[in-house]
A and B are shown apart, each in its own frame.
Chain A
Amino acid sequence: VTKRKLDAETLEELEDLLIRADLGTATAARIVEAVGKGRHDKMIAPDEVKGLIASEVEEILGPVAKPFVPDAGQKPFVVLMVGVNGSGKTTTIGKLAAQWRSEGKRLTLAAGDTFRAAAIEQLKVWGARTGAHVVAREQGADAAGVAHDAITEARANGSDIVMIDTAGRLQNRTELMDELEKVVRVVKKLEPTAPHAVLLVLDATVGQNALNQVEVFARTAGVTGLVMTKLDGTARGGILVAIAQKYRLPIHLVGVGEGAEDLQPFSARDFSRAIAGLD
């Protein structure tokens, strides 16, 4: 392995690597600055540089990497799934349902996406696959009403966990964000401590707009943690690093495929190494 001088040109290449992974200009510059600090013009092997990048990224992500564990003291534990269109909300509910069912938990799923064509049927398929009870009303029904019904039924059937699916919505669509706020309000009326978790689902292909998504969904729905899907593709999802720096929200889970088993706990180390182009 040929060593290279850690000069301005090398640092610029590192910055490009981070920009290509969607960290954005500011975060990329900050990380490269940290890597260069005290090492200017030192001779260094390429993998060593990547290792330095990875550890800088991991330093940011490490503190926010948190496993997603429902609080057994809350019965039912109520999870609300939110995010923009097509990010992977419904599929993530299906994957979590599969995991928790295999741990022997009783589940109720609320088909709160009453807007999108066949969204209810999609959730029902996941319910049948995993043996989770699904509460649904007809298409076009009030989403908050479905959430209300599901919690009531979950109490009656002794469910440990309720997961509420919601329709995808872009965060700049005020009327749709108001509707989401109403879902939260109705849930709280029924159970003041709920929703106990509000998961924002981000697609790994997303660029800088994800910062806005976090900002607005957090304000509207009180997001408690993040899930990043589609990391099985070519996108690295580096915007999570900028998000972690700015919002410090816990990152719980990553999606790595479309199957029930394609959900993993978020690992700051693995994610950082992938960003740096290691492994």
Chain B
Amino acid sequence: MFDSLSDRLGGILDKLKRRGALTEADVGEAMREVRRALIEADVALDVVRSFTDKVRQRAVGVEVIKSVTPGQMVVKIVHDVLVETLGSDADPIDLNAPAPVPILMVGLQGSGKTTTTAKIAKRLTERGNRRVLMASLDTRRPAAMEQLATLGTQVEVNTLPIVPGQSAVQIAKRAMDAARFGNYDVVILDTAGRVTLDEALMAEVAEVKAITNPHEVLLVADSLTGQDAVNTAKAFDSRVSITGIVLTRADGDGRGGAALSMRAVTGKPIKLLGTGEKMDGLEDFDPQRVAGRILGM
């Protein structure tokens, strides 16, 4: 079982029972524990490294206050740097563009794009009072379009009529036209899942982006993802320059290090958390909560 970082660092640092400032040596040993804790939470290795460097710099020389143990002191610094890195403010979906505002959903297979599309549509309709159109550009997965249509009925948001035989690019054009003619405020484009090594499909999503000029490009990723989070985030960002990240399955008991990995390598904000299969399972990103989860606190 995982011991929380506090216990581990407590064990290392507090036995020193020192007063005064943390030395390089104290902090060095503590950083090895921090490193292990972060890897066990699925934070990507390279991100772990730059993160512990930052923490080390901040921790060395810090005065240990009388009432606080060195272990607690370091945990607090780790937590603070974590929250800063994750992004301190909630960053909502930006609709500040001429209507219809296109939002493009991208990600690996099964990450939660279609479900999240419908959740966002519901939220924008109910809370933002926007007219939303959803379109499935997924010509590959069996019954993908029916899935979005069914969800559309559930959340009472219109979906683009299904026309068999069209390519993703053709559907994207049709969706933009329909949104314009239908006076929609927002059009959400759900795409097929793709592995980033699939050159043909990566080119397809780049073409969809070029044609629709989306105001938001959201990478939908599974919060249970391991070390691959950096590859995925980098690949989608370099191909379609994402504007934000949605982490799904935050209702799981994963430690969610992927959040830190993806945020750190792209610099793009995590905007939302998926917290269930149901249509109301969508929450604003809260760095405090995610930081606590990563640290097992």
Contact = CB atoms under 8 A, between A and B. Distances in A.
A133 B150 CA distance: 24
B263 interface: no
B255 interface: yes
B94 interface: no
A207 B110 contact: no
Given A121-B146, A208-B226, A232-B197, A85 B141 contact: no
Contact of A235 (B112, B147, B198, B228): B228
Interface in A45-86: 84-86
B197 A234 contact: yes
Interface of A: 16, 19-22, 24-25, 84-88, 94, 115-119, 121-122, 124-126, 129, 168, 170-173, 203-210, 212, 230, 232-236, 239, 258
B149 to A, nearest CB: 8
B110 A203 contact: yes
Contacts of B39: 19, 24-25
Interface string B48-87: 0000000000000000000000000000000000000000
B238 to A, nearest CB: 13
Given A117-B150, A233-B108, A206 B249 contact: no
Interface of B: 36, 39-42, 44-45, 108-112, 140-144, 146-151, 154, 195-198, 222, 224-229, 231-232, 235, 249, 251-255, 257-258, 277
Q: Top 9 A-B pairs ranked by shortest CB distance?
A: A207-B226, A86-B110, A125-B142, A233-B195, A207-B42, A118-B147, A235-B228, A121-B143, A117-B150
A207 B108 contact: no
Contacts of A205: 108, 222, 225-226, 228-229, 232
B42 A122 contact: no
B228 to A, nearest CB: 4
Nearest to B113: A86
